[in-house]
Structure 1
Amino acid sequence: MSNVFIAFQRNEETRSIVDAILADNPEAVVNMQPAMVRIDAPNTMVIRRSTVEEQMGRPFDLQELHVNLITLTGHIDETEDEFTLSWKH
């Protein structure tokens, strides 16, 4: 089993994104750094637009993830409603 991860700039906007990721991925682990937050998950991580919208209290376009994105690892599968990182083919 290999971990996937995503890292964002650490700021007020990404706090809601991180909270949404943790809500939808109970096995995810957060590593807070002074200027960055990294979330690791075994095999697969799903970021759901609806969960981010719940946390933010406003509409959210998943393309907004890229504004504060630093790096990620895993295969990307992206739709209007979900951004998934995995090692599945």
Structure 2
Amino acid sequence: MSTVFIAFQKTEDARGVIDAILQDNPAAIVNEQPAMVRIESPEAITIKRATVEDLIGRRYDLQEMQIHLITLSGHVDESDDEFKVSWTR
């Protein structure tokens, strides 16, 4: 089992995405630092557009998160509804 991770700038605008990741990925481990939030998980991290929208109270395009994205480790599989980082294809 390989660990994947994703890291975001620690901003108020990124908080909805971070909270959605933690809600939808129960195995995720968060590491908050002064300017960055790094989230690790075994196997995969899935970001669901619907969860982000529920948390922030407005429509959300998953491309918006790229403004706050610092780095990630894993293969990316994305659609309009989900952004997934994993080591499987």
Q: What's 1:5 paired with?
A: 5
Compute the displacement of 1:75 (Å): 0.4
Q: What's 2:46 paired with?
A: 46
Question: What TM-score does the superposition give when structure 2 sets the normalisation length?
Answer: 0.97
- Identity rate, percent: 58
CA offset digits 1:9-31 (Å, max 9, x no partner): 00101111111001100000000
What residue ranges of structure 1 are gaps of 5+ in the alignment? none
Question: What TM-score does the superposition give when structure 1 sets the normalisation length?
Answer: 0.97
The alignment of Structure 1 onto Structure 2 pairs a total of residues equal to 89
Counterpart mapping for 1:1-89 below 5 A: 1-89=1-89
Q: Distance in 2 between matches of 1:56 and 1:66?
A: 17
Please state whether the residue corresponding to 1:59 is helix, strand or coil.
Answer: coil
Compute the displacement of 1:65 (Å): 1.0
CA offset digits 1:50-78 (Å, max 9, x no partner): 00001111100000010000000100001
**RMSD of aligned alpha carbons:** 0.6
